[in-house]
Structure 1
C-alpha cells in the first residue's frame, strides 16, 4: 500500500522524499514563540531560585534565561545545585521535554521539540541538544538563526536532528506509545489525531507554574543592602621586646547582605565578604633579618582554625593590612578569638589578642 506518492506505509520518515514529507505544510514554531516559551521557563527557574536561595540568582541550566528578573538582582556565590527544589525543577523540565516534547513554557505556548519522526527525542538527545546550545550562544547567532532558516532550526537543532513544531498534539515518545512498534507516522502527519487525556491537566499545571514564576520574577519587588562587620582591636598581653616591637592591630570580618521582597515574601542573602587583619609595630628590621605576619583564630567553642602567615610587606612602614581568605568568615563562626604576632628570624613575638563574642 502506498500513500502520498511512492512512500510506503511503515517506511521511516527519513526515507521519504521532501515532497512526501510535505515540508511546506509542517508548521514550524515561530522564533517569537520559542523566545516566549524560553522566557516562561526562565521565570519558573527564577521564581524557585528566589524562594529557595534568596536574592542570589544563579544561572539555571535548561530553563532558559531569566530576562524577566529585575535589573538589580544580585549575582552571589549561590549555585543552582545548592537548592534541592531547583534541582528537581530542572530535572522535571528535562524529562518533560525528553518524553513529552515540551517544557512547561513550551506546553503553554503550544510548541514541541521532536525528531525527524515527529516524536520526542528522549533523554540523551535532549541533554545533548541543551549542551549544543553553547554553540548557539556564540554571538547569539544560533539563537537568531530560526529567523532566516527555512525550517527555523538553531545550530543545536541541526546537530541533533531536532525541530520545533507549532503543535499541541505531538506524537508520543515510543516508550509511552504502546503501538509505536508498528504505527509509524505517515507523510504529512506531523501530529497525533488527538492529544492524550492528561494533556489538558499538564497544560493547566504548566500555566500555574509559569504564572507563579512570573509573579515572583517581576511583581512588587524591592531590595536593600546592609553591611555587617567592624574592626576588632587586639590587645597586647605582654610587651614585645623584639626587633619590631609589635604594638597592636585589629581584625575585620565583614559581610554584605541584601534583602529583597517579591509579593509578600522577603528573602535575604549574603552578597559579599571581606576579611582583613592589620598589624602595627614601632621597631625596624635589619636587612639581614626576615619577618612574617601571623594570625590564628580560635572559635567560640574552643576549636582552632588553621592560621595564616604572610611575608612582611615593608617593615619600615610600621603597619600593614592584609586581606584574609573570604572563607575565614564562615570558618571561624560568629564568635572568635584572633591571635596576631610577628615572626622575626623564626622567633614569634608575644601575641596581640582580639576577641569577639556574639550571643
Structure 2
C-alpha cells in the first residue's frame, strides 16, 4: 500500500508525447503573440486603434476615454488574426508560441487541433477572462488546462516540433535542423518587431504658423506687433514609422509685441488683451507684465481657440500696450481674418 495519488485516466497527463508546457511559458507565448497583434494594430490603425487578441480579457476603460477604431474594420488585421488562428490550428504554434516552445494539440491524439477548434478556443477564453481565474487554472489543474482547453479538448505542450495536422501530414518532409532553425529565426524576428512596435514610442509635436493681421488702432513709434495662427500637432513614432497621435492638436492665436519704451520711470506697464463678442462686450480678459527692460520683445499673448469660440460668431480680439494707465499702442484681430488664416 502506498499513499501516492492515482488520477483517473481522463484527468491524468498523457503518458507519451511532449511534456505539458509550464504556465510561465504560456504567459510568455501570450505576451509575444499579443505584441504582434498590438504592433500590427498600431501600424494599420495608429494609436487610436483597438487590436484583436488570442487571449481576450475584460479591460476597464483601457482607452483612456479616447474614441477607438475597431480592428474588425481593417481587412489587414482580420487577415492577420485568421493567419494566427490558422498557424495555431494547423501547425500547433503561432510565432509567439514557437519562440516560447509551446504548441496547442488535441488531448485525444496529440495532433494540431485545426482551424475551427483553434478559433473556438479563443472564443472560449472569454470564460478564462472572468477575474482571470481560467488563465490561472493551469497552475493547479492536473493537465494544466484553462477552461477553454477543457471545453475544446486541447493541451499546451512543450515542443517546437509538433506532429503535422492530418490534412498536411503527407506533405511534411523529414525533420531538418536547418529548416527548423530558419522557422525559429523567422518567428523570433516577427516577435521582436511586434514588441518594438507595441512597446516603444516617442511623441513629438510640431507647430504650423500662418500670419493673422493684427490691425493697429492706436499707432505710435513705441511698439510693433505681429499676429499668427498656430496649430500644434503631435505624432507618435515607433522605430521608423510615424502615426498621428491621440493627443489632440491645439490651435491658438498668438500676438507678439516688441515694445520700444523710453519711459524707464513708468511703474505700471502691461499688455492687456480682451476677447470681445459681436456686440463689443468683453468676454475674457488677459493681462501680462512685460518687465523693466527699456526694449522688450514680449512673450507672445496666446489665446486658445476654445476661448475664441466661447465668444460666439463675430468675435474680435483687442491687444493693448498700457503705460501708467494710458494706451500707447493697440491692435485688433477679427474672426474673419482668423478664419482666412486657417483656410490658407
Q: Is 1:200 aligned to 2:181, yes or no? A: yes
1:81-117 CA-to-partner distances (Å, cap 9, x unmatched) read 3444323322211110010011100011111001021
Q: Is 1:163 aligned to 2:155, yes or no? A: yes
Q: Report the TM-score, using the length of structure 1 for normalisation.
A: 0.54
C-alpha distance in 1 between matches for 2:248 and 2:89: 38
Q: Secondary structure at the match of 2:242?
A: strand
The structure with the larger Rg is 2
1:58-79 CA-to-partner distances (Å, cap 9, x unmatched) read 13232778x9xxx999954222
The 5 Å alignment of 1:86-125 reads 86-116=77-107, 117-125=109-117
| Count of residue pairs brought into register by the alignment | 242
Q: Secondary structure at the match of 1:174?
A: coil
Q: Secondary structure at the match of 2:343?
A: coil
What's 1:242 paired with?
Answer: none
The 5 Å alignment of 1:1-359 reads 22-23=14-15, 26-62=18-54, 75-116=66-107, 117-178=109-170, 194=175, 198-219=179-200, 221-223=201-203, 258-270=234-246, 358-359=343-344
Q: Report the TM-score, using the length of structure 2 for normalisation.
A: 0.56
What's 1:11 paired with?
Answer: none
Task: Determine if contact 1:101/1:170 at 8 Å carries over to the other structure.
Answer: yes
C-alpha distance in 2 between matches for 1:156 and 1:169: 23
1:24-73 CA-to-partner distances (Å, cap 9, x unmatched) read 875110100000001111111122222222222413232778x9xxx999
Task: Determine if contact 1:101/1:120 at 8 Å carries over to the other structure.
Answer: yes
C-alpha distance in 2 between matches for 1:118 and 1:100: 12
C-alpha distance in 1 between matches for 2:243 and 2:12: 57
Task: Determine if contact 2:205/2:233 at 8 Å carries over to the other structure.
Answer: yes
Report the Cα offset of residue 260 of structure 1: 1.4
Higher mean C-alpha deviation, range 42-51 or range 17-26: 17-26
Q: Secondary structure at the match of 2:50?
A: coil
Report the Cα offset of residue 193 of structure 1: 9.2
C-alpha distance in 1 between matches for 2:74 and 2:189: 21
Q: Secondary structure at the match of 1:178?
A: helix
1:258-295 CA-to-partner distances (Å, cap 9, x unmatched) read 42122333221456699xxxxx999xxxxxxxxxxxxx
C-alpha distance in 1 between matches for 2:111 and 2:84: 17
In the alignment, structure 1 segments of 5+ residues that lack a partner are: 1-15, 181-191, 229-254, 275-279, 283-320, 322-337, 339-352
Task: Determine if contact 2:105/2:154 at 8 Å carries over to the other structure.
Answer: yes
Q: Secondary structure at the match of 2:170?
A: coil
Report the Cα offset of residue 130 of structure 1: 0.3
Task: Determine if contact 2:138/2:145 at 8 Å carries over to the other structure.
Answer: yes
RMSD of aligned Cα (Å)? 4.8
Q: Secondary structure at the match of 2:244?
A: strand
C-alpha distance in 1 between matches for 2:41 and 2:232: 20
In the alignment, structure 2 segments of 5+ residues that lack a partner are: 1-7, 209-230, 251-276, 280-309, 314-335
Task: Determine if contact 2:124/2:148 at 8 Å carries over to the other structure.
Answer: yes
